[in-house]
Amino acid sequence: MTRVIIIDWGTSSFRAWLVARDTGAVLDTLPSGKGLRAMAGQSFPAYARDRLAPWRNEAEGTPPVLMAGMVGAPSGWRKAAQPPLPVGTRDLAAQVVPAEGLAKAWILPGAHVRGADGHVDVMRGEEVQVLGALALLGRSDGLFCLPGTHSKWARAEGGRLVDFATFLTGEMRAVLLGHSILGEPATADAPFDPAAFDQGLAQAATPGGPLHHVFSSRGRFLYGALAPEGVASFLSGVLIGAELDGALARAPDARTAPIALVGGASLQAPYERALTARGLRVEVIPADQATRAGVLAVATDLGV
């Protein structure tokens, strides 16, 4: 049986799966490892060789390694291109770069988009998730929401990624909680508070925009209408609501078909709640599955 090693190497984690080439079945998984931030000054080839040793045996023939994510950024192993849209799996396969220092290993490119007005947006890792999600859904068109530190909304047409936009939602929540007056009363690691989240979501639906709406957490807190343990969830509601409303303003046809939510476990619930509250239909696709399906499709196009 032919096997492929798939790695999702991002800013905050390294994750690897040994996958059956034909069925896509996961044969083995490594414990999560160091993301790019924790790799500062370390050798990428040495770290990868060490982590992947259980799966790579030169005598028996080593499975190929395909890596996606920020590992292809200038701060990663080796810079990979970010081709302009539209981008399909063949376009990604055409621009992989060898991962220097490790045999039979490649880094996938990202993608970028330019607007007529000078706007530029960038991604590394989500393009392959969108293409993988398309394959899992058996479709060639769709609107995708990929929540995260830098959430992405993407559109596919004819089996290729044709548009996307980044929203700073996750990082914004972190900097407001960690470094602004709004975070001062917030309880660290408070559990998700659905009522406070819904209040933030409702606040985001009123006129004024997120710069105004986030400050409502201050007023509500000072007047006893928001408990310290609800502040983080309230801000999540405001920011996710603002992300949704901003993304929908860019996609007026969003209500005609379900939105594919490609997310990890922790963000899936609040995003599903927010999308449903805005009257949208949602299809959930686990982000890991989407990554693997997308990378496998690139591996096929690449012939490895």
Kindly list the residues in this chain that would bind a copy of itself in the complex (CB under 8 A).
Answer: 112, 114-115, 117-122, 150, 165-169, 171-172, 175-176, 178-182, 199, 202-203, 206-212, 214-216, 218-220, 222-223, 225, 239, 242-243, 245-247, 249-250
**Nearest residue (CB) to a copy of itself, 181 versus 284:** 181
**Nearest residue (CB) to a copy of itself, 169 versus 268:** 169
Please identify which residue in the block is written with the tokens 């914004």. Answer: 172
Shortest Å, Cβ 196 to a copy of itself? 10
**Nearest residue (CB) to a copy of itself, 22 versus 79:** 79
Strand partners, 90: none
Is residue 150 a contact partner of residue 171, using CB atoms and an 8 Å limit?
yes
Is residue 80 a contact partner of residue 97, using CB atoms and an 8 Å limit?
yes
**Nearest residue (CB) to a copy of itself, 53 versus 249:** 249
**Nearest residue (CB) to a copy of itself, 92 versus 182:** 182
Shortest Å, Cβ 149 to a copy of itself? 9
**Nearest residue (CB) to a copy of itself, 50 versus 171:** 171
Helix residue ranges, H only, 159-286: 169-179, 194-204, 210-213, 216-222, 231-250, 265-277
Query: C-alpha distances in angstroms, 30 versus 8, 34, 53, 159, 237?
Result: 11, 12, 11, 31, 34
Shortest Å, Cβ 106 to a copy of itself? 22
Shortest Å, Cβ 216 to a copy of itself? 5
Shortest Å, Cβ 148 to a copy of itself? 12
Shortest Å, Cβ 115 to a copy of itself? 8
Shortest Å, Cβ 251 to a copy of itself? 9
Shortest Å, Cβ 104 to a copy of itself? 30
**Nearest residue (CB) to a copy of itself, 129 versus 203:** 203
Reading the block at residue 296, the tokens are: 């496998």
Cβ neighbors of 115 (< 8 A, separation 6 or more) are 121
Give the C-alpha separation, 29 to 32, whole Å. Answer: 9
Strands (E), the chain: 3-9, 13-20, 26-29, 33-34, 65-68, 97-98, 105-107, 111-114, 120-123, 142-146, 151-157, 160-167, 259-263, 282-286
Give the C-alpha separation, 174 to 219, whole Å. Answer: 20
Give the C-alpha separation, 39 to 12, whole Å. Answer: 10
**Nearest residue (CB) to a copy of itself, 96 versus 165:** 165
Please identify which residue in the block is written with the tokens 């028996």. Answer: 60
Element (H, E) at 130: helix 126-137
Give the C-alpha separation, 153 to 278, whole Å. Answer: 16
